[in-house]
Amino acid sequence: MSMTNDAMPSMITCERSARALFDFIDGRLPAAEMSVLRVHYETCQACAPHYEFSRRLLSMIPDTVPFDSDVPSDLRARIIASLREEGYSGSDSDA
């Protein structure tokens, strides 16, 4: 993969798109990278289903889990660890 600068690859691999998926869905990437990833998710037959599933799943969470519920700290830690394994890079308070 060639790099146009340290932050933005000129082409996105499926591996890179998988690592960036949650940040893309959350809109946490630079605009140029969001644009390149958007094209990748729209055109890659391998990545499109993963993107669509993740987007739909994450959009349903606020409707099913009230934010004011008390989540045990050990459960929260396990969830955050799982998210990080899948590429989540937000803060613990965002998860």
Output the DSSP codes for 9-34.
BSS--HHHHHHHHHHHHTT-S-HHHH
Q: Give dist(CA 26, CA 74) in Å, integer.
A: 24
Read off φ and ψ for residue 65, nearest 5 degrees.
-125, 115
Range 7-23 average pLDDT: 81
Instruction: Give the residue-averaged pLDDT of 66-90.
Output: 78
* pLDDT confidence of residue 24: 94
Average pLDDT over residues 63-85: 77
Does residue 31 surpass a pLDDT of 80?
yes
State whether residue 3 is helix, strand or coil: strand
Confidence class of residue 34 from pLDDT cuts 50, 70 and 90? very high
